[in-house]
Copies of this chain bind each other. A is one copy, B any other.
Amino acid sequence: MQERGGVEEITVLVDKPDHGGDVRGGPGDHVELREVVADECRLEDEVLGRIAGDRQLRKADDVGARGARLVHPADDQPRISGQVTDGWVDLGESNPHNSILTAPSPPLGLVVPVAYFDRLRALSRERHTLLCVGLDPDPDRIEGGAAGALRHCRDVVRQTEEHVCCFKPNSAFWEQYGPDGWAALLELRDEAPDTPFLLDAKRGDMDNTMRAYARAVFGTLAMDAATVSPYLGSDSLREFTRYEDRGVYVLCRTSNPGARDVQHLESGGKPVFEHVAVLAEGLNGAGNIGLVVGATAPAEVAAIRRITALPFLLPGVGAQGGDVESAVRAAWNGDPASCLVAASRSVIYASKPAREAEALKAQINLATGVRA
């Protein structure tokens, strides 16, 4: 194994993606970090021992490479608001909301993580895109089980990465393949370490259980962001938002026809989905919350944008027939994170995924009116 500095070993100890091993810990681990940093020699021994003992950790070097992302920020680090309304074109690296990127070194020489929404904003500017490609392998369309799914999606990632600012695997499609599907998803995540991965999982359970889901998604699978369901309310959602450097998109108004059944019930003069938007706003103290708002319903996108500046994830483009222009115009507010447009089937089953992604990127940019 390659020699590394003490800091990287520390990050491994705190929250490495530990597939099948000890999965204790959570967003409060920075406390333990500060305690153990005093004794680097002992620490190094422990870390090397753990890596050697983990038969599922296929690429030990990847842990170091992603270590910085996996440390949770201490509470005294500056918080980043997710509700900026800056114009996209006019902002450069001097954007004050990006200050964490160039912040002075924190105490104890810790590696400071960049929060998900800030990585998303930076990458969106850098690559000039608002596109997110969904990685949802369908065994009816891809031969070869989990290995075939991995091969196909790896190829899509390689071909489309320059045109996206995020990848969005949906958990369901990988779960179909059983344990091999989870292993494949872990490998896929390693394919594009520079691009955030958003796990579309729509989890929602009671607090104790939601803590376990958060560990699974942010710890074991090392995802940068996730979707969650609001049906169980604030105590449930809070178990995800506690991970302040990760993004949490709350289902608000989904892209399917059945969305009307529950989400459109009127209560106190407004639909349930607007109550959910207000609920999400109230949990956004760390600036790490967004909303899922289907691109198939531009009128609802506009209604929700009128009451909140939270970042939107807009699925439903492509195979689901969403109206890209209308949805983007309704969602976009100048914040590069305000309008993340997700397409899956129309890209990953295209004969040329790169060309499809590039065309969609251009179509979305045109709709924002700030990029030709």
Contact = CB atoms under 8 A, between A and B. Distances in A.
A265 B259 contact: no
Given A186-B179, A203-B172, A212-B175, A251 B231 contact: yes
Contacts of A180: 19-20, 56, 179
Interface in A191-208: 200, 202-207
A25 to B, nearest CB: 9
A220 to B, nearest CB: 5
Contact of A255 (B56, B200, B206, B275): B206
B179 A56 contact: yes
> How many of chain A's residues touch chain B, expressed as a range?
35 or more
A178 to B, nearest CB: 4
Interface of A: 17-24, 56, 136, 138-140, 145-146, 170, 172-173, 175-183, 186, 200, 202-207, 209-210, 212-213, 215-216, 219-221, 229-237, 251, 254-263, 265-268, 272, 275-276, 279, 320
A-B pairs with the 5 shortest C-beta distances? A233-B258, A20-B180, A233-B261, A19-B178, A175-B216
Given A23-B177, A172-B210, 11 more contacts: A19-B179, A20-B177, A204-B229, A204-B231, A206-B255, A207-B256, A230-B261, A230-B262, A231-B254, A233-B260, A272-B272
